[in-house]
A = this chain, B = another copy of it.
Amino acid sequence: MPVKRITSSDVARAAGVSRATVSFVLNDKPGMRITEETRRRVLEAARDLDYRPHASARSLAAGRSDVVLLAIPDLPIGAGISRFVEELATALAAYGLTLVTHLAAAHGRPLPDVCAAIDASVVVGFSAFDQDTVQALRRAGADLVLPSEDEGLSPMRHVGRLQAEHLISRGHRRLGYALPGHPAFAPMAGERLQGAADACVEAGLEPPVTLTVLLEVDSATRAITGWREQAVTGVCAFNDETAVALLAGLHEHGLAVPAGMAVIGADDIPTARLAAPPLTTVCWDLHDVARHRAATIVTGLAGAGRTDHHTGASINPRVIHRSST
């Protein structure tokens, strides 16, 4: 049998007050005058009964829920993402918000449906949603949709920049960039590449020679041949998996790493240090990113849908130097 739910009426009865009083106490309504004694009785009763307000009823009455929906794009995400989700969840929990995630599958139900189904008041993505989607989400009940056009992926440029700067500082003068094969990575890859290109230009070098590298040895060997023809000596890989594919390709070519060609990855996946040779890569502190995002959400929610200003959201990335560069 469905366990009987504890309602605020139960708490009210147990505390010997009215339901309204319970609501005032538990929500800490300002401007309401409640005796310390009464407050104590209510809180005690709520604790004793393990009372949890019924979320649906609450958001129906209040007009907004405390649910934040994180839409994770349909791409082979690494373990790093789960760290980010955890951090974001705890940061939001500090504001009384609950984070749940949804993986956007190609054949799954549309995001607005999911948003409506759980009555989320905030929808957070990784890159900005297009205008139509934003509209649909708002009609589905979302008060706030992030990130907005202007923020979003821009921190990713730092990653590419740092990769390139590292290779340049190691003496490389002609760089390559390995784009991922998966199309869903395209926006993020574009940003990272842009950052790498910026670094090259600032150092007075040509932009990187970009080639696409799938997660197969063949693909990597072909790309490496291409780079060698252009006198490339160091390659920034979009991420560590792509970098591992490059290492396999270099092994196939019989080229020493980093003497024959240097490789730097991004994300610092667990197996990066286990590669042959151990992979130099770029990582960043997800803790800060998550806290910043949480703050953006909270202020945006308070500002009733207006996402006015926000600091640049630097992710403060850094190079982890191993043996592949």
A55 to B89, CA, bound (A): 22
Query: Which residues of A come within 8 Å of B, CB atoms?
Result: 1-3, 5-6, 50, 52-57, 59-60, 65-67, 69, 72, 74, 76-79, 82, 85-87, 89-90, 93, 98-103, 105, 107-109, 112-114, 116-119, 136, 138-141, 143, 215-217, 241, 244-245, 247-248, 251, 270-271, 273-276, 304-305
Residues of B within 8 A of A87 (CB): 105
Question: Contact at A89–B76, with CB atoms within 8 Å?
Answer: no
A77 to B83, CA, bound (A): 10
Question: Contact at A67–B118, with CB atoms within 8 Å?
Answer: yes
A114 to B55, CA, bound (A): 10
* Contact flag A52-B140 (CB < 8 Å), given A79-B78, A270-B241: yes
Q: How far is the CB of A107 from chain B (nearest CB, A)?
A: 5
9 nearest CB pairs, A to B = A86-B105, A98-B117, A100-B100, A56-B56, A55-B119, A52-B116, A56-B60, A76-B79, A93-B109
A121 to B50, CA, bound (A): 18
Question: Contact at B98–A109, with CB atoms within 8 Å?
Answer: yes
Identify which of A54, A82, A241, A271 gathers the most chain B CB atoms within 10 Å of its CB: A271
Question: Contact at B3–A119, with CB atoms within 8 Å?
Answer: no
Identify which of A98, A117, A270 gathers the most chain B CB atoms within 10 Å of its CB: A117
Residues of B within 8 A of A305 (CB): 1-2
* Contact flag A90-B105 (CB < 8 Å), given A56-B59, A67-B118: yes
A54 to B271, CA, bound (A): 45
A220 to B1, CA, bound (A): 51
Q: How far is the CB of A306 from chain B (nearest CB, A)?
A: 10
* Contact flag A93-B118 (CB < 8 Å), given A57-B60, A215-B270, A271-B215: no
Q: How far is the CB of A124 from chain B (nearest CB, A)?
A: 13
Known: A56-B56, A215-B270. 14 other contacts (CB 8 A): A2-B304, A5-B139, A50-B136, A50-B139, A52-B116, A52-B140, A54-B141, A55-B117, A66-B117, A69-B100, A86-B105, A86-B108, A101-B102, A215-B274
